[in-house]
Chain A
Amino acid sequence: AQSVTQLDSQVPVFEEAPVELRCNYSSSVSVYLFWYVQYPNQGLQLLLKYLSGSTLVKGINGFEAEFNKSQTSFHLRKPSVHISDTAEYFCAVSDHAGNMLTFGGGTRLMVKP
């Protein structure tokens, strides 16, 4: 079985500041990792994914994440946030069987002017 922990339920940050949203997972097998974003009253949209290869993954809207196997982490970063980045962010993991996705509890990013 696998699980995902997002350590921060809310992250307030000022506009143009850098941000890191933390994600740790537990799994006994190799995994695929994902970050999703949910804007108010919308569904979840994929930001980026790690399937294999380079551990630094770049996604949409200037976000990137780094897979760290020894730390079992997949933290999301952005060097300079905008007001429009205010949303809820979900980390997810699936095992190499590639079927179901397990989601973390979500982190609400609040960007202040």
Chain B
Amino acid sequence: DAGVIQSPRHEVTEMGQEVTLRCKPISGHDYLFWYRQTMMRGLELLIYFNNNVPIDDSGMPEDRFSAKMPNASFSTLKIQPSEPRDSAVYFCASKERYTEAFFGQGTRLTVV
């Protein structure tokens, strides 16, 4: 397996624009996580899915953020409208139950 695949690797956008981050988990993994990493706040869990169903979205900062998992092989994290304070590295990770999580390479988002 190629591992967890995230796209794009880098995204630069203007404030107010919509941003969509994409993730393809490892085949057969039934958990998917979205994390955000910043210098100030470290690694924060935004939301996680089990069998494509959102289980805990308490980490999603506000209504501008939304995440979907339409099928077992694809998930998106959308920010609309984006703001400079959303600039961060966003990681997707997947796992099976009782095992470790495997991380993607991340998407570095810059909102100017």
Report how many residues on chain A are interfacial, defined by Cβ distance under 8 Å. Answer: 21
> A103–B43 contact, CB under 8 A?
yes
Report how many residues on chain B are interfacial, defined by Cβ distance under 8 Å. Answer: 23
B12 contacts chain A at the CB level, 8 A cutoff: no
With contacts A44-B91, A99-B31 taken as known, whether A32 is within 8 angstroms of B105 at the C-beta atoms is no
A54 contacts chain B at the CB level, 8 A cutoff: no
A92 to B35, CA, bound (A): 13
Contact of B45 among A51, A100, A105 (CB under 8 A): A100
> B103–A43 contact, CB under 8 A?
yes
> B104–A43 contact, CB under 8 A?
yes
> B106–A43 contact, CB under 8 A?
yes
With contacts A100-B45, A106-B42 taken as known, whether A32 is within 8 angstroms of B33 at the C-beta atoms is no
A11 contacts chain B at the CB level, 8 A cutoff: no
Contact of B103 among A32, A45, A51, A99 (CB under 8 A): A45
- Would you give the shortest CB distance from A66 to chain B, in whole angstroms? 18
Cβ contacts A18-61/B at 8 Å (1 or 0 each) = 00000000000000101010000011111001010000000000
A27 to B105, CA, bound (A): 30
Cβ contacts B2-19/A at 8 Å (1 or 0 each) = 001000000000000000
For residue A102, which residue of chain B has the nearest CB?
B45
> B103–A44 contact, CB under 8 A?
yes
A113 contacts chain B at the CB level, 8 A cutoff: no
- Would you give the shortest CB distance from A98 to chain B, in whole angstroms? 4
> B101–A101 contact, CB under 8 A?
yes
Query: Which A residues touch B98, using CB under 8 A?
Result: 32, 51, 98
For residue B56, which residue of chain A has the nearest CB?
A100
Which residues of chain B (24-43) have a CB below 8 Å from chain A? 31, 33, 42-43
A-B contact pairs, 13 of them (CB 8 A): A32-B98, A43-B4, A44-B91, A44-B103, A98-B97, A100-B31, A100-B33, A100-B56, A101-B45, A101-B101, A103-B43, A105-B42, A106-B43
**Nearest 7 A/B pairs, CB to CB:** A98-B98, A43-B103, A98-B97, A44-B103, A105-B42, A43-B105, A103-B43
